[in-house]
Amino acid sequence: MAEQQEKLHIVVFPWLAFGHMLPFLELAKLIAQKGHKISFISTPRNIHRLPKVPENLQPLVDLIELPLPRVDKLPENAEATVDIPHHIIPYLKLAFDGLEQPLTKFLERSKPHWIIYDFAPYWLPPISSKLGISCVSFCIFSASGMYSFSDFFTRKESESPRSKGIPEEHNENDESGVSDMFRVLRTSNGAQVIASRSCMEIEGEPLKLCESIYRKTVIPVGLLPPSLQFSEDSNDENWNTILNWLDKQEKGSVIYVAFGSEVTLSDEDFTEITMGIEMSGFPFFWVLKKQNTSSVELQDVVVNNSGKGMVWTTWAPQMRILSHKSIGGFLTHCGWSSVIESLQIGCPLVMLPFQNEQFIVARLMEEKKVGFKVERNEHHGKFTRESLAIALRSVMLEETYRSEAQEMSKIFGDKELHQKYIDHFVDYMEIHRPTMKD
């Protein structure tokens, strides 16, 4: 039945953060590979910074640029969380909400069957319903991370969120005028189906629990492991610089240090990490952006480690670096994309979560023995250079973590397994396509 019907047109609309746009783009490409049309929507600067769509998929994937409305306190060219400090993010959400009108006009014109959206556009479900467009709320977190929002769904509207212990950052109205909790509730409740970046082989139980919390179908779309085929662009100066340094290091000797696109380290954390890496004695490649630290101090970091390190202060090709034979371990904040990318190739984790559901991911990975969590003081939550050095040395010197991570890569990196999840998700959208209104 499904193959006789016309191909779908699906709009894909992620939140303005690379930890979101990258998995949304990965999902969009996998759907396009099955012949369906994609309209991927973001702002001009984000569209130009995202990885290129492979040539064979370009006829099916339209990249639609909607200019971001101007908002006071949001710097001129800021269009993603990576461009701003954490406290400015609410103003980015306010600007994002200003896309309501232009997006509505696009939907009225293009009349897609489905729209796959993120946690942020609380205003989109009623617009889609009026236009006869079906909605998927796609959560880029792990299913265990999604489960951490369960309090949002079980609390009665009247109860104060604080009484349910929901973290401040989620339940307070911020400068965007609404809280993350409100956004999550509206986008989840307004969708026909929830999609989760997960799979039964890793999170069978949490996926089932999410269905009872969200009170609707939750479809795992697989882990979306990114491609390991890299464009051999010999003119890529950045990559050549990085590769020259990595090639000089011994196999499995380097700690790759990166905390995603949103974490800004406090001066205290920056110092403890610097000293902890030095105490570990291992060479390191540290992706350090959004840091207030002056370049002089950064040079100290490198010099103090007797040149055993490289500090990279712009966007780094993370997947390519993780794939290099010299990388022996990944000091990570446990962002879900970073964890998936590391375990796809079997690189063990030194886990230092900072916010949101990263702590849940760290606990999940500790249970699977693919890494070591940096100990934090149970009273004030701080970590020290000593606790970091212990974690680094455990992962880099004890074979168990690497062998467990390589065992896990048989699931995380199993393209056929994750393709089956995509096939099932696309079948669902084909079978449950809306009966188009005139």
Ligand X SMILES: C[C@@H]1O[C@H](OP(=O)(O)OP(=O)(O)OC[C@H]2O[C@@H](n3ccc(=O)[nH]c3=O)[C@H](O)[C@@H]2O)[C@H](O)[C@H](O)[C@H]1O
- State the distance between the two ends of the chain, measured CA to CA, in whole angstroms: 23
* Backbone phi, psi, residue 422, to 5°: -65, -45
- Identified binder of ligand X from the candidate list 133, 316, 343, 374, rule CB under 6 A: 316
- Residue 310 engages ligand X in binding (rule: CB under 6 A): no
Distance CA 363, CA 377 (A): 16
Bridge partners, residue 315, by sequence:
none
> Which residue type does 339 have?
V
Q: Kindly tell me which of 149 and 421 has the beta carbon lying closer to ligand X.
A: 149
- Return the number of other C-beta atoms located less than 10 Å from residue 87's C-beta: 11
- Identified binder of ligand X from the candidate list 18, 147, 214, 372, rule CB under 6 A: 18
- Identified binder of ligand X from the candidate list 83, 151, 262, 430, rule CB under 6 A: 262
Q: Minimum distance from CB of 289 to ligand X (Å)?
A: 6
Q: 414 in helix, strand or coil?
A: coil
x/- letters, 355..374, toward ligand X (CB under 6 A)? -xxx----------------
CA angle 195, 190, 207 (to 5 degrees): 30
- Identified binder of ligand X from the candidate list 337, 342, 344, 387, rule CB under 6 A: 337
Q: What is the DSSP letter of 74?
A: S
Q: Minimum distance from CB of 51 to ligand X (Å)?
A: 9
- Identified binder of ligand X from the candidate list 137, 171, 318, 326, rule CB under 6 A: 318
- Residue 17 engages ligand X in binding (rule: CB under 6 A): yes
Active-site residue, 20 included: yes
Part in contact with ligand X (CB under 6 A); list of ranges 97-105, 106-114, 154-162, 255-263 = 255-263
Active-site residue, 118 included: yes
Distance CA 395, CA 369 (A): 10
Tokens of 36: 């369906």
Which of 178, 213, 90, 194 shows the shortest CA–CA distance to 135?
194
Instruction: Determine the residue with CB nearest ligand X.
Output: 19
Q: Minimum distance from CB of 102 to ligand X (Å)?
A: 24
Distance CA 366, CA 391 (A): 12
Q: Minimum distance from CB of 366 to ligand X (Å)?
A: 16
* Backbone phi, psi, residue 132, to 5°: 70, 30
- Residue 134 engages ligand X in binding (rule: CB under 6 A): no
- Residue 22 engages ligand X in binding (rule: CB under 6 A): yes
Q: Kindly tell me which of 358 and 409 has the beta carbon lying closer to ligand X.
A: 358
- Identified binder of ligand X from the candidate list 117, 138, 336, 372, rule CB under 6 A: 336
Q: Minimum distance from CB of 320 to ligand X (Å)?
A: 9
Q: Kindly tell me which of 336 and 383 has the beta carbon lying closer to ligand X.
A: 336
- Residue 260 engages ligand X in binding (rule: CB under 6 A): yes
Q: Kindly tell me which of 262 and 272 has the beta carbon lying closer to ligand X.
A: 262
Q: Minimum distance from CB of 336 to ligand X (Å)?
A: 5
Burial class (CB in 10 A: 0-12, 13-18, 19+), 102: middle
Distance CA 156, CA 223 (A): 33
Q: Kindly tell me which of 192 and 332 has the beta carbon lying closer to ligand X.
A: 332
- Residue 335 engages ligand X in binding (rule: CB under 6 A): yes
Counting every residue written for the chain, the total comes to: 438
CA angle 111, 120, 109 (to 5 degrees): 15
Q: Check 118, 324, 333, 418 and give the catalytic one.
A: 118
The residue with tokens 């306190």 is 73
Part in contact with ligand X (CB under 6 A); list of ranges 175-183, 334-342, 398-406, 424-432 = 334-342
Q: Minimum distance from CB of 281 to ligand X (Å)?
A: 25
Part in contact with ligand X (CB under 6 A); list of ranges 272-280, 350-358, 366-374, 391-399 = 350-358
Distance CA 381, CA 390 (A): 17
Q: Kindly tell me which of 330 and 428 has the beta carbon lying closer to ligand X.
A: 330
- Residue 230 engages ligand X in binding (rule: CB under 6 A): no
Strands of the 284-287 sheet, one edge to the other: 309-312, 284-287, 254-258, 327-332, 349-351, 371-373
Q: 107 in helix, strand or coil?
A: helix
Q: Minimum distance from CB of 407 to ligand X (Å)?
A: 22
Tokens of 2: 């499904």
Q: Kindly tell me which of 323 and 403 has the beta carbon lying closer to ligand X.
A: 323
Q: What is the DSSP letter of 253?
A: -
Q: Check 20, 36, 113, 418 and give the catalytic one.
A: 20
Distance CA 369, CA 399 (A): 11
Distance CA 189, CA 56 (A): 36
Name the residues annotated as catalytic: 20, 118
Residue ranges in contact with ligand X by CB under 6 A: 17-19, 22, 260-262, 287, 315-316, 318-319, 335-338, 341, 356-358
